[in-house]
Amino acid sequence: MAAELTAQQYIQHHLTNLTLGLHPEHGLSFAHNAEEAAEMGFWALHVDSLLWSFGLGYLAYRFMLGVAQKATAGVPNPAQNFFEAIVDFVNENVRGSFTAKNDLVAPLAMTVFVWVFLMNLMDLVPVDLIPHAFAQLMGLFGADPHHVYMRVVPTTDPNITFGMSIGVFLLVLYYSFKVKGVGGFAAELTMQPFGKFGMPANLVLEGISLFSKPLSLSLRLFGNMYAGEMIFILIALMYGHNLMLDISGGVLQLAWAIFHILIITLQAFIFMVLTIVYLDMAHQHH
């Protein structure tokens, strides 16, 4: 695909989502380019991000359910042993970071870690493999391959990372009100750290601290995964020119993929830990 497009067009193509929405001129349709996607406005859907995120979540659920149904008290099989290690890892982090008692936190942390890791893991798939195959498939139905988009790493889409972080933020608000009460939570936002005479300053500081939680949670994951995707795209531009660049691109791609394994795991771990910490803060009185 890189050989058919200029470098700028190739990068733009890989950074454009498969977008479905109401276009001012074409009505309900898929966007043919980034400009049409922008014209569809806020309510347009990134179909590829939604399909890959929910699809990976469902596959993880079905696989773990199958392992749980076949679990035995004796010698575990490799799959059971692997997921028991993940459960122990998550439980250790919950015990170390969450001081209250809430049976939701550990399953939520497990879900967050596995789901984010799987979405991040898609960044190790060669950047042209799935988009090119999807474009060729749509070409059989008369679509122009250059206007068919498919981004396979959901966490490079801020809509996905913000959606997950807002879900965590709503839980933080829910438990803040449930544990502290309306008055207690309001007092925490208005009476600290400068006392009752510093209410306006307290509200500004605590409000910024509160609303920075979903921002930091989402943008950290999005920024790191977007940067990783961009590096893979730039490396892919090296192919198809001469043998030396092909070899150099292959070496760089392998090296970055190996290093990226650490990044995708670390980002899933950070998202999980921050979720636990934010929920712990919601359970604690100031």
Supply the DSSP string of 13-75, one letter for each residue. Answer: HHT---EEEEETTTEEEE-SSHHHHHHT-TT-EEHHHHHHHHHHHHHHHHHHHHHHHT--SSS
Per residue in 84-125, pLDDT (tens digit) is: 899 999 999 999 999 888 999 999 999 999 999 999 999 999
Q: Give the CA distances from residue 47 to residues 11, 136, 204, in Å, rounded to whole numbers and listed in that order.
A: 19, 18, 38
Structural domain containing residue 175: 49-127+153-283
The answer to whether position 78 is within a domain reads yes
Query: Is 220 labeled as catalytic in the residue annotation?
Result: yes
pLDDT of residue 4: 66
pLDDT for 286: 66
Residue-level pLDDT at 189: 81
Residue 224 designated active-site: yes
User: What is the pLDDT, as a whole number, of residue 275?
Assistant: 95
Look up residue 138 and give its two tokens.
């749509």
Q: What's this model's pTM, rounded to 2 decimal places?
A: 0.90
Task: Determine the Cα–Cα distance for residues 145 and 142; give it in Å rounded to an integer.
Answer: 9
DSSP assignment string, 228-279: HHHHHHHHHTTTTS-HHHHHHHHHHHHHHHHHHHHHHHHHHHHHHHHHHHHH
What is the rounded average pLDDT for all residues in the chain?
A: 89
Q: Would 39 be classed as within a structural domain?
A: no
Counted domains in the chain: 1
> Residue 44 domain-assigned?
no
Instruction: Please report whether residue 79 resides in a domain.
Output: yes
Cα 268 from Cα 259, distance rounded (Å) = 15
Residue 16 backbone dihedrals phi, psi, to 5 degrees: -105, 130
Q: Which of 91, 220, 242, 248 is catalytic?
A: 220
In-domain check, residue 15 = no
As a whole number of angstroms, the distance between CA 178 and CA 165 comes to 20
pLDDT at 192 over 70: yes
Going by their DSSP bridges, the two strands 45-46 and 27-30 should be labelled as unpaired
Judge whether 120 counts as a catalytic residue. Answer: no
Strand ranges of the sheet holding 45-46, from the earlier edge strand across to the other edge? 27-30, 19-23, 45-46
Of the listed 49, 97, 176, 224, which one is catalytic?
Answer: 224
Residue 215 lies in a domain: yes
Which residues does residue 20 pair with via DSSP β-bridges, in sequence order? 30, 45
Question: pLDDT at position 229, please?
Answer: 93
Confidence (pLDDT) at 142? 78
Q: Give the up-direction half-sphere exposure of residue 55: CA atoms within 13 A in the CB hemisphere.
A: 10
pLDDT at 19 over 90: yes
Q: Which of 90-99, 116-125, 183-192, 221-230 has the lowest mean pLDDT?
A: 183-192
Phi, psi (degrees; rounded to nearest 5) at 29? -165, 170
CA distance 225 to 231: 10
- Better pLDDT: 271 or 146: 271
Contact 204, 193 (CB under 8 A): no
73-107 exposure pattern, b = at least 16 Cβ within 10 A, e = fewer: eeebeeeeeebeeeeeebeebbeebbeeebeebbe
Residue at token pair 């790191």:
224
CA distance 38 to 234: 24
- The answer as to whether 117 is a domain residue is yes
Q: What is the distance between the alpha carbons of residues 265 and 246, in angstroms, rounded to a whole number?
A: 28
Q: Using an 8 Å Cβ cutoff, are 222 and 156 in contact?
A: yes
**Residue 168 forms part of a structural domain:** yes
Name the active-site residue from 49, 216, 242, 248: 216
